[in-house]
Structure formats: C-alpha cells, structure tokens
Amino acid sequence: MKITRVETFAVPPRWLFCRIETDDGIVGWGEPVVEGRAATVRTAVHELAEYLVGQDPMRIEDHWQVMTKGSFYRGGPILSSAVAGLDQALWDIQGRALGVPVHVLLGGPVRERVRAYSWVGGDDPAEIADAVKAQVDAGFTAVKMNACGRMDKLATAADITSVVERAATARDVLGPDRDFAVDFHGRFNAANARRVLPHLADLHPLFVEEPVLPEYAHRLPEVVAASTVPIATGERIYSRTEALPALQAGIAVLQPDLSHAGGISEVRRLASLAETYDVLLAPHCPLGPISLAASLQVAFSTPNFLIQEQSIGIHYNNGAEVLDYVVDREVFRFDEGHIRRPLGPGLGITVDEQAVRRADNSTSDWHSPVWRHNDGSFAEW
C-alpha cells in the first residue's frame, strides 16, 4: 500500500482536517491544527506531505521519526500539530487496513466507557449555577470552567474572592459526588497562584489547570507545594522532553492535546512517561470530531487515564459543531457523562466527506482574542 494524496480542509468553526488517500482505496483522517494558526499548520502539513506521498502508510513510527526530526529544526506547536494530524490519519489507515479500532492496536481496551467533562461559562454566580445545573441535568458528572476573565497577574482581593465564589457556586450545585475543574489559563503569575490555591482546597476541585504559563514550569514546584489542590498542565506541551519538568515538579494531571503533541504516537508515550510519575492523563480537546476520536482511542487503551475534555456546545463553536462532520453521531453519544467504547475500525468514526468538502474555506480563520489591561498593556487571554 502506498500513500497517493494528502488533502487539507479548513472548516468552521476553527478546525483543519487532513485526508490521506492510499492506492488501495483506504482513506485516513486527521485533525492537524493550532487554534488561531490553521493556515500556518496547513502549509506545514503540505510540506510534510511531499515526503509522505509514495510511502507505505503502515510504517507510522518511521514516518513520525522523519517528520519530527528530518528537517533538522524541530519541535514547537506548528510542526508538532502538523505531525499530529498526519499521525492520526496514519493510525486511522492502519486500523482500517487491519479491520480493528486503533485502541486494539495500542494493546486493547482497559475500560468500557470513558468519562468526559463539559465546559461551563458565565461570569456571575447565578449564570454559573444555571450552567452547571444544565450539565448535571444532561448527565455529566464533571464540568470545567475558567477561574476568571481578564485579570491582573497579581489580583485584587475582590478578584480573588470572585474566583473562590465561582468555585463555591459550582460545588454547591454539583454536591459531593460530582467534580469541577478550574482553568487558570496562564492568567496568574506563580505568586498569585500560590495565594489563590489554598482558598480553593476545601472545595476539592478535581484539578486546577495552567496555574502558570508553560514557560514558567520551573516555578511549578512552589505552586504545587502551596496547597493540596491537584495541579494540571499540558495543552501547550508538545513532547516528552517538554513534559518532563512539569512531571518532575509534582503535577497531578498531564493534559497533552492529540492535535498538538505529535498525535497518537507521542501522546501514548506521554501517558507512559506520566505513569512513571504517578500522574494521570486528561487529554485536552476543545477541537473537532477527529481530534476527539483520536483522544478516545488513547483513553480506552491508557491505564492512567483520568477524564476526557470535549467541545460539544463549547463557546468557541460558532458556525459548526463537533457532530456536523460525522456520519454516525451515536459514536459521540453521552450516557451518564460517559462515551461508550467505539467499535469501528481506525479512529472509529466515519467522516462526512461531502460536508467537509462543502465547508472547506467557507469561513475566515479564527484568531484568539487579544486582551488588554486597564492601562492598555497586553493581557493574557
């Protein structure tokens, strides 16, 4: 079998899909994208495709080595995300060629269903209460929310109180048997994270995410030591070597993204590395159906898996939803906040190719908002 063609599709709301075609008719799909840099990643995918066309798609690991290391300069979100989507598509092809789901190729299922959480938005406690209640009513057993909106690196007493009140509101609605996680989104510095975390401890969040920006991983040991709250990070970590300082710092949860961190090949290795630090895996996934399908294949074959992010109904999904590009929507049906094990070959989904071709280039690229502090200076989003 040989790879004959690699295509890409930029589709609403902000996703990029790739399609790898082979000479015996098997097609694989992947989702290579950095949110806000879809066009750049698209170019990188087509550069890598020059190498892939003519190759045997079954040699996934060898292609991964060449794609990540073969141009001398390596790493970073653009290249790692381009490789990630192509890697997903190659695993999809291999699963389809052998007639099994990817998680069977990764050692077989270690669980029968995967717990997922939903995002809740809202700024005032009443909105948060309503949003959490809606997810509980939909059967979810866990939610995640931002800790705050735009905020100074060293927050005021009022701002800190508002963070704690939001968390307390969520806990009130959820009761003791469900979970909430809080995303700091890298908006605080280490000192502020240390100051806020002890106030959240008694509310028992599942974890607090990105208490500091990934470039300040060397400050994570202090942040971890500041409270008993489990610390999570990883959506802006792209490889094992980048994950190592966070793991050594004592984080509790590693959150690599299947569309950013080198795909299924690297994330399953990240999961194994995390296991050596007694750290759990919670794949980041505010993206589309192919990225979610790839995440689930890893989740079903990873012993130290905790929970799966998913973006159905997320506030970013303007113009299209996760289910718009798949033929069989039952694959992503939630029962009691869990997804059942997909039994289909490859990634376990059937991409609606006509819908994807129709949507290609139908919208302008999504970009992250640029926030400013009150004095006009740049603020972390």
Query: Applying CB under 5 A, which residues contact Mg ion?
Result: 183
Q: Token pair 């290579």 is at which residue?
A: 32
Which residues are registered as beta bridge partners of 233? 254
Distances (CA, A) of 211 to 193, 230, 248, 339: 6, 11, 16, 29
* CB nearer Mg ion, residue 183 or residue 242: 183
Element (H, E) at 40: helix 38-52
Minimum CB–partner distance for residue 292 and Mg ion (Å): 16
Render the burial of 340-351: b for 16+ CB within 10 Å, e for the rest: bbbeebbbbbeb
Q: Report the interhelical angle of 157-174 vs 125-137 (nearest 10°).
A: 30
* CB nearer Mg ion, residue 207 or residue 332: 207
Q: Which residue number has the CB closest to Mg ion? A: 183
Which pair of tokens denotes residue 236? 């802006």
Determine whether 185 is an active site residue. Answer: yes
Minimum CB–partner distance for residue 312 and Mg ion (Å): 17
Catalytic residue among 185, 199, 204, 218: 185
3-state secondary structure of 171: helix
Strand segments, DSSP code E, in 60-141 are 113-119
Minimum CB–partner distance for residue 368 and Mg ion (Å): 12
* CB nearer Mg ion, residue 183 or residue 266: 183
Minimum CB–partner distance for residue 119 and Mg ion (Å): 10
Which pair of tokens denotes residue 238? 């792209």
3-state secondary structure of 77: helix
Minimum CB–partner distance for residue 259 and Mg ion (Å): 14
Q: What CA–CA distance (Å, rounded) separates 372 from 333?
A: 39
Minimum CB–partner distance for residue 233 and Mg ion (Å): 9
Strand segments, DSSP code E, in 13-112 are 15-22, 27-30
Render the burial of 224-234: b for 16+ CB within 10 Å, e for the rest: bebbebbbbbb
Minimum CB–partner distance for residue 348 and Mg ion (Å): 25
What residues have CB less than 8 Å from 306, skipping those under 6 apart? 115, 253, 280, 281, 282
Determine whether 284 is an active site residue. Answer: yes
* CB nearer Mg ion, residue 35 or residue 324: 35
Catalytic residue among 63, 103, 260, 284: 284
* CB nearer Mg ion, residue 234 or residue 337: 234
Which amino acid is present at 203? L
3-state secondary structure of 194: helix
Answer yes or no: are the C-beta atoms of 187 and 209 closer than 8 Å: no
Active-site residue numbers? Answer: 185, 284
